[in-house]
Structure 1
Amino acid sequence: MAVTASAGGGATWPSVPALPDPATETVLASGLLDELSYALGGPFHFLLPDAFDTNLQAMRATLTAAEVDGFVYFAKKSNKAAVWVERCAAHGAGVDVASLGELREALGHGVRGEDVVVTGPAKARELLELAVRQGALIAVDALDELDALLATETVAALRPARVLLRCLPPTQPHSRFGMTDAELTAALDRCVRAGDSVRMEGFSFHLSGYEVGPRAELAARLVERCLKARALGLAADRISVGGGLPVSYTDAESWRAFLAEQHGGHFHAGKSFDSGDFYPYHSPVAGAGALAALLSSRPQGHGQPLAGLLKECGVTLLVEPGRALLDRAGGSVFRIQGVKERDGYRILTVDGSSLSLSEQWFNSEYLPEPWLLPRSSGDSPGVYPASVGAATCLESDLLTWRKVPFWRRPRVGDLLVYPNTAGYQMDSNESPFHELPLPPKVVIDRVERPEGRPAVRPRWRFDRHFLRA
C-alpha cells in the first residue's frame, strides 16, 4: 500500500514491496548475508535453486493437468549462472540457447543435445554445426539461415537437422524475428526437397508482451500450419510459444497505488518514467498460472480451448520461460558506503553499480524495493525516503532513482538486499566498469532442520560459472 508519512513536509511516498518469500526471509534472518558481504568485500548475488525446482515442477504439473504433451526449456539468457543448467540436467528439462557459448555451457553441464533448442537470429555457422552434431532443435529465423543450415557439412555427412520454422507474428508485423507467409511457404518447400537432410518438426514464434490472448491465437494458427505441413510429408508435430510468462513481484493494491500516484517528485532529480515502460510488476496470473491461462484460453474460431486443440491434433507444446522459472530464486546484495542528505530525502551510495540491475538497460526502473538490513537497531521506526546511487563516476548510474520509503534510517555499513533479481536483472549487463570485479554468485542450498534441534544456518557455495571465470 502507499506510504502516507514522511520525514517531513507531509509528502507521500508510494511503496512497491516485494511479495512474501519465506525462503529469502530465512536467508535474511540467518545473518549469512552480512558475513558474505564482509568476506567477499563487495556486492554479490545469492541464488536459491530450490525455487527453480519448484517453478519447473509447477509448469510440468500444469501441462499434465491439462493433458497436454509439453516440454519446458529454460531460457539461459535470463541468467548466466551454471546452477540453473545443472538443475535442468538433473530434472530432464531443456535449455534455450542463442550462442555457441551458451550451447557449450548447456552441454558441458550435463544437458543432452536433444534437450536443447537453439534460438536467436542469423546463427553463426559454428553454432549450426555443433547444434546439428548434438541433435539440438534449431529455430530457423530466415530463409538464408535455412540455406546455411542445409549447407553445413554436418547435415550432409552425419545426421538430419531438427528444425522449427519461426513465424512473423501478424500482430507485430514490424518485428525483426520470423518469416512472412510467403517465406514460410518457400521454407516448407526447401524442407520437402531436402529430404532426409532435415526433420522439420514444427513452428515457433517470438511475441513481445505478456498478454495471454494473442499467444493463444498465434499458437492455434501454428497448430493449423502443422496440419498443412504434415500433408506435405513433414513431421510437424510441435510448436514453441517462447517465453512471456509474467512474474508477479508485488501485490495488486501496491501496484495500482504506485501507478496512480507516481510523479517526478518521487524520483531523484525529477527523473520521469513512462508508466507503460515499467515491467508489469503485478500480474493476476503469473508463472505456471499464466501457462494454465494460456492452455484454457479459447482461440477465435475454435470450439475448444488451446489445450483441447493441441491434444486433438497431436501437437506437443514447447515453452521457453526464463524469468518465470527464476521467480524468487535469488537476490542482489550491496553495502551502503555513503549517505548524502538532500532536501527531504537521502542519496545512498553502494559498493556496486546499476549494471547489476539490468532494468536500467530499458530506460526503466527495477521497482520492487530493497530490504534494509541495519548493522544496529538504534533508531526508532520512521519513514526515510532515499534513492540509491552507484560508486561510479557517472551522473546517471543509479540503481534506484525512486525515493524508496525505508522504515529505518539508512546508514553507512547497512546492507541493501534487492529481492527477486535472478530473472534478467543481476547479470545481463554486468561489466568490470572502473576495474571493479564482477559480483560473485553464491548458491544457497536448503538445509533441513534436524528434528528437535535448533535451525541450521543455510549452507552456501560459489556457483561453478563464477569459479571458472
Structure 2
Amino acid sequence: MAVTAAGWPTVPVLPDPAADAVLASGLLPELSYAFGGPFHFLLPDAFDRNLGAMHDALAAAGVDGFVHFAKKANKAAVFVERAVAGNAGVDVASAAELREALGHGVRGEHLVVTGPAKDPALLHLAAQHGALVAVDSLDELDALVAAPPALGGRVRHVRILLRCLPNTQPNSRFGLSGSELATALERCVRAGDAVRMEGFSFHLSGYAIQPRADLTADLVDLCLKARVLGLEAGRISIGGGLPVSYTDAESWHTFLAGQNRGHYHAGKAFHAGDFYPYHSPVAGADALATLLATRPEGRDRTVAAILKDAGVQLLLEPGRALLHQAGATVFRIQGVKERDGYSLLTVDGTSLSLSEQWFNSEYLPDPVLLSRDPGRDHGHDPEPGPEPEPEPGPHRRLAGLFPASVGAATCLESDMPTWRKIAFHRRPRTGDLLVYPNTAGYQMDSNESPFHDLPLPPKVVIDRIAGDRPRWRLDRHFT
C-alpha cells in the first residue's frame, strides 16, 4: 500500500525474508544491549545473489564482462571477501581502500583505481600491484609514465584506462575532454612499453539507461581508433549507476504526489527531485540486462552486439546494486517527546549513519518499530486497548496511527535521521528499537563521524539464519 488507511504517506520496502527472519529472532535487542549503541547488521548472502545475477545477465547477453565492487559503498570487509569468492574485483579510490582490498584477498590485477587527482602513494601502490588505473588527467598520466615501478630488477608496465568527460555532462569535474583524450593517446603511444593502455572509462550521474548505452558505443569506437595507433584498447568501464528499487511503483509515486511540509518535523520541505529514486522500473541486474539490449542512438545494433563485434570487454563498478537487501541499521529510542499531533523520538545515534542527507535529502524507506521486549510483538502489532481519540487541531493525531519523527543524540538542531513523520501502528516507547531496512548501500558509513565522542556503529555479519537463532560475528574490517 502507498498510504495508510488514513491517507498518511508511507514508503514500505519490498519483501525481504532474510531481514524479517533476523527481526523475528530476538537477536537485535540483545545486540543493542551488548553494544550500548546503534549498530548495523549485514546479510552477505544478498550480495552473493546480486553479484550472481549480474554475471547471469552478462552471460545471457553473450558479453565478456567483469564486475568490480565499488568499495566506497560500504566499508565492511565481508563484502570484499564475498567479491573475491564470487569471481569479482574491487573498485578503490584511496591507498587505504587498496590495502584493505589486498588484505582481504583481492588480487592486484582485479583492482580498478578510480577518483580524481590520485595521491602519488596510491598510484605507486596501484602500479606495483598491477591494478588498473582510470586516469583522470594528463598530469596523472605523466606521473605514471615518468615513474613506473621497478619490480624484481625489471620495469613493469602500468595498466591504465583513460577516463572520458561525458558530452552530456560537460560540467563534471571528472574525466578528459576530447582534446585531452587526443593528447593522452599520443603520450601513450610515445610511452611504449611503460604503459599498457587497456581502454576507456566513464561514469554518468543519474540512472538513465539510454545515455549509458550511447556513451558505451562511443567508447567502443574510441577503442577501435586507439588500436589503429598500436594500443591494446580492449576494455571499457561504464562505472556504476545501476538503480535499486526499495519500494513498489504505486507506493513511490503516491508518496511523491502526496508528501508536503505537514508530513515533516518543523515543516521541513524537501524537493521531490532531490530524493533518491526509491523505485525503478528496472533495477540491479535487470538494469544491466536492459542496457545490454538497448540500441544506442543512431546505431542499428544493441550494446551487446557492438561489444561482441569489437571484441571489447565490459567492466562495471556497481556499489548500491550489489548491496541491495544486504543489511540494515538499528537504533535504540532514548527518549520520546510529544508535539502537536506527533511524537519526536531521540535515538542513540546520529543521522551520519544514514547518509542520504548529503544530497539535501533523507533516507525514506519506512523503519520498523521493534519492541524493547524480545518476542512481544516484533514491532508489527498495535498495543492492546482502545484506539485513542483523534486530537483536535490541524495536526491532530490520526486514529490508530502514531506519527513520529526521529532525532539524533546530538546537540545539533538539524541532526535528524528522519524528518518525516513515520506513521507507526503503535506508540513508540523508550527502549524500543528502530530498524532502518536495506541500508548497506551507502547509508551505513559514507558520512559516519564520532561526533560527541560517540562510537561508530559496529557491523554485525549474519553468516547463517538457522531456525530462530542467526549465527553472527563482527565484521573483520581492519580499520
Q: Report the TM-score, using the length of structure 1 for normalisation.
A: 0.95
- Structure 1 residues 51 and 327: alpha-carbon distance in aligned structure 2, compared to 1, 3 A threshold: same
1:209-231 alpha-carbon deviations (Å, 9 max, x no partner): 00000000000000000000000
Q: Are the equivalent residues in 2 in contact too, given 1:13–1:405 (CA < 8 A)? A: yes
CA positional deviation for 1:4: 4.5
Whether 2:472 is the aligned partner of 1:460: answer: yes
For 2:254, what is the secondary structure of its paired residue? Answer: helix
Q: What is the root-mean-square deviation in Å for CA atoms of aligned residues?
A: 1.3
Q: Are the equivalent residues in 2 in contact too, given 1:149–1:155 (CA < 8 A)? A: no
Whether 2:462 is the aligned partner of 1:444: answer: yes
Which stretch shifts more, 340-349 or 88-97?
88-97
State the partner residue of 2:352. Answer: 355
Output aligned runs, 1:6-405, within 5 Å.
12-154=7-149, 158-375=155-372, 376=376, 378-379=383-384, 382-405=400-423
State the partner residue of 2:452. Answer: 434
- Structure 1 residues 69 and 278: alpha-carbon distance in aligned structure 2, compared to 1, 3 A threshold: same
Give 1:464's aligned amino acid: R
- Structure 2 CA distance for aligned equivalents of residues 276 and 364 of structure 1: 10
1:72-126 alpha-carbon deviations (Å, 9 max, x no partner): 0000000011111111122221000000000000001100000000000111111
For 2:30, what is the secondary structure of its paired residue? Answer: helix
For 2:160, what is the secondary structure of its paired residue? Answer: strand
Q: Find the partner of 2:435 among 403, 406, 417.
A: 417
- Structure 2 CA distance for aligned equivalents of residues 379 and 196 of structure 1: 76
Gaps of 5+ in 1: 7-11, 450-454
- Structure 1 CA distance for aligned equivalents of residues 90 and 4 of structure 2: 45
1:357-388 alpha-carbon deviations (Å, 9 max, x no partner): 00111110100010011235544582111100
Q: Are the equivalent residues in 2 in contact too, given 1:68–1:307 (CA < 8 A)? A: yes
Q: Percent identity?
A: 72
Q: Are the equivalent residues in 2 in contact too, given 1:5–1:383 (CA < 8 A)? A: no
For 2:448, what is the secondary structure of its paired residue? Answer: coil
Q: Are the equivalent residues in 2 in contact too, given 1:379–1:409 (CA < 8 A)? A: no
For 1:416, what is the secondary structure of its paired residue? Answer: strand
For 2:199, what is the secondary structure of its paired residue? Answer: strand
- Structure 2 CA distance for aligned equivalents of residues 357 and 4 of structure 1: 25
State the partner residue of 1:3. Answer: 3
- Structure 1 CA distance for aligned equivalents of residues 401 and 60 of structure 2: 46
State the partner residue of 1:452. Answer: none
Give 1:463's aligned amino acid: D
Give 2:475's aligned amino acid: D
Q: Are the equivalent residues in 1 in contact too, given 2:148–2:158 (CA < 8 A)? A: no
Give 2:313's aligned amino acid: T
- Structure 2 CA distance for aligned equivalents of residues 370 and 425 of structure 1: 13
Q: Are the equivalent residues in 1 in contact too, given 2:130–2:158 (CA < 8 A)? A: yes
Q: Are the equivalent residues in 2 in contact too, given 1:388–1:398 (CA < 8 A)? A: yes
1:308-328 alpha-carbon deviations (Å, 9 max, x no partner): 110011000000000000000
CA positional deviation for 1:5: 4.7
- Structure 2 CA distance for aligned equivalents of residues 4 and 120 of structure 1: 44
CA positional deviation for 1:301: 1.9
Q: Report the TM-score, using the length of structure 2 for normalisation.
A: 0.93
Give 1:126's aligned amino acid: A
Give 2:121's aligned amino acid: E
- Structure 1 residues 89 and 421: alpha-carbon distance in aligned structure 2, compared to 1, 3 A threshold: same
Runs of 4+ in 1 over 4 A off after TM superposition: none
- Structure 2 CA distance for aligned equivalents of residues 84 and 226 of structure 1: 32
- Structure 1 CA distance for aligned equivalents of residues 40 and 365 of structure 2: 16
Q: Are the equivalent residues in 1 in contact too, given 2:352–2:448 (CA < 8 A)? A: yes
Which stretch shifts more, 151-160 or 171-180?
151-160
Give 1:42's aligned amino acid: G
CA positional deviation for 1:2: 3.7
- Structure 2 CA distance for aligned equivalents of residues 260 and 431 of structure 1: 34
Give 2:276's aligned amino acid: Y
Give 2:425's aligned amino acid: W
Give 1:3's aligned amino acid: V
- Structure 2 CA distance for aligned equivalents of residues 201 and 5 of structure 1: 57
CA positional deviation for 1:394: 0.5
Aligned length: 456
Whether 2:405 is the aligned partner of 1:408: answer: no
- Structure 2 CA distance for aligned equivalents of residues 2 and 299 of structure 1: 35
